[in-house]
Structure 1
Amino acid sequence: MIYRVKGWHNHAMSTSAKPGPRERLLSAAQELTYTQGVGVGVDALLKAAGVARRSLYEHFGGKDGLVAEVLRRSSAEDLDQYRSTMEKAGDDPRARLLAVVDRLNLIAAAPDFHGCRYLAADLALTQPEHPGHEVTRAYRRTLQGLFADEFVALGHSRPEFAAQQLLLLVDGLLAAGATRSDLAPAASRELAEHIIDAGLKGA
């Protein structure tokens, strides 16, 4: 999934021995749709994967199906990384939530960070019925749910609302990280602390 040092929302090409056409297409598309966007041409995808055009239609029904599957696989991998980051931070919900923001700050500062693939896909896929949109919506619902669980454990007065606020912060951090080099990590961390602490009793 994730390029481990640089962060979430990217995927390295598979190095497994002799993967089949479906896996090669997925790996190539996961890489190219991140670095070049979902508008990357079919010919470029087929060339990178080293497969015939018929493989695209046999396995995915066309480019739209491939893009949706790439988003599905990427979102599963990225959600695992969110969970892993929180688990490594220990049991304190506040520390777990702030660990996510700290990790995303590192990712957004990487020199070859290209932004959030889900935001980019939603903007580029102009057809409302494109199957990729349901994948990105499901991804955000799940991520917001992960945040909400932590806010509930924290005893926050408005856990669902706070989770929505934190998700907005995450989206903004990743979008800004792709377009600006002057972002101070302390800014997003302080915003996250405000979201967390605003709903705690005695805060």
Structure 2
Amino acid sequence: MATRPGPRERLLEAAHDLTYAQGVHVGVDAILKQADVARRSLYQHFGGKDGLVAEVLHTAVGEARYRQVMDGAGDDPRRRVLAVFDELEKITTRPSFRGCRYTAAELALTDPAHPAHKEIRTYKDGLHEIFTAELTRHGHPAPHLGADQLLVLIDGALAHAVTRPDAHPALAARAMAEFVLDHQPQA
């Protein structure tokens, strides 16, 4: 017989689902109701909603999903980078797609001291490291710049797909990623 997850896990799962579907400003009562926990559990485990939101971002699949997609594409760095855009095409055309949870949280949380900002920056910096490493392996002459360019394409595709999914922005971004991979940057 399966054991029901504890209050901490239920809060994380509910907040993970609801903050993606409704944004980080979803009400605490909605999270508590879906998690089926008392308000006290929220404060005991996370110190409040801000801590819960930060922990959701910390524990989300994030970088691991990018690595999984790249690893599934083999060893060739070019193929690995382009596989990310192929996966983004699948993700951004799903009816449940609501954009990048990290970018949405960054834009919605106006308090610069909110603990979620640290998690968001750590995530984005981690992606930059992943792409810098792949571009270095690819022999790109400016891997840090190339990684910045790829992240702009990814963020743009994720944002554009929220408002115009039928435009298939991940496919457009993929074509531009090929340009980043194949062309020397101008100084």
TM-score of the aligned structures, taking structure 1 as reference length: 0.87
Pair 1:98 & 2:98 matched: no
Partner in structure 2 of residue 161 of structure 1: 145
Question: CA distance change for structure 1 residues 186 and 45 in 2, over 3 Å: closer, same or farther?
Answer: closer
Measured after TM superposition, the shift of residue 112 of structure 1 is 1.7
Aligned Cα RMSD in Å? 1.2
Indicate which of 147, 155, 179 corresponds to 1:171.
155
Q: Tell me how far apart the structure 1 counterparts of residues 63 and 157 of structure 2 sit (CA, whole Å).
A: 17
Name the structure 2 match of 1:125: 109
Q: Which amino acid aligns with 1:192?
A: A
Confirm or deny that 1:56 pairs with 2:46: no
The residue aligned with 1:183 is 167
Gaps of 5+ in 1: 1-15
Deviation at 1:182, TM superposition (A): 3.0
Q: Give, in angstroms, the shift of residue 188 of structure 1.
A: 1.4
Q: Please identify, of 22-31 and 180-189, the stretch whose mean Cα deviation from structure 2 is larger.
A: 180-189
* 1:108 aligns to 2:111 (yes or no): no
Alignment pair present for 1:198 and 2:183? yes
Which aligned runs of 4 or more in structure 1 are off by greater than 4 angstroms? none
Identity rate, percent: 55
| Cα deviation 1:122-158 (Å, max 9, x = unaligned) | 1110101100001000000000100000000000000
In the alignment, which of 112, 119, 138 is matched to residue 135 of structure 1?
119
Q: Distance between the aligned counterparts of 2:102 and 2:88, measured in 1?
A: 15
- The letter for the 2-side match of 1:152 is T
2:9 maps to 23
Measured after TM superposition, the shift of residue 106 of structure 1 is 1.2
Q: Per the alignment, in what secondary structure is the counterpart of residue 57 of structure 1?
A: helix
Whole-angstrom distance in 1 between the partners of 2:40 and 2:184: 55
Q: Which moved more, 1:176-185 or 1:107-116?
A: 176-185
Higher helix share: 2
In the alignment, the residues of structure 1 paired with residue 112 and residue 22 of structure 2 have an alpha-carbon distance, to the nearest angstrom, of 21
TM-score (norm 2): 0.95
CA separation of 1:198 and 1:28: change in aligned 2, threshold 3 A: same
CA distance in 1, matches of 2:126, 2:176: 22
> What CA deviation, in whole Å up to 9, does each residue of 1:18-41 have, x standing for no partner?
110000000000000000000000
Q: Secondary structure at the match of 2:165?
A: coil
Query: Offset of 1:105 from its aligned partner?
Result: 1.4
Separation in 2, partners of 1:101, 1:195: 13
Counterpart for residue 10 of structure 1: none
AA aligned opposite 1:25: L
- Determine helix, strand or coil for the equivalent of 1:182: helix
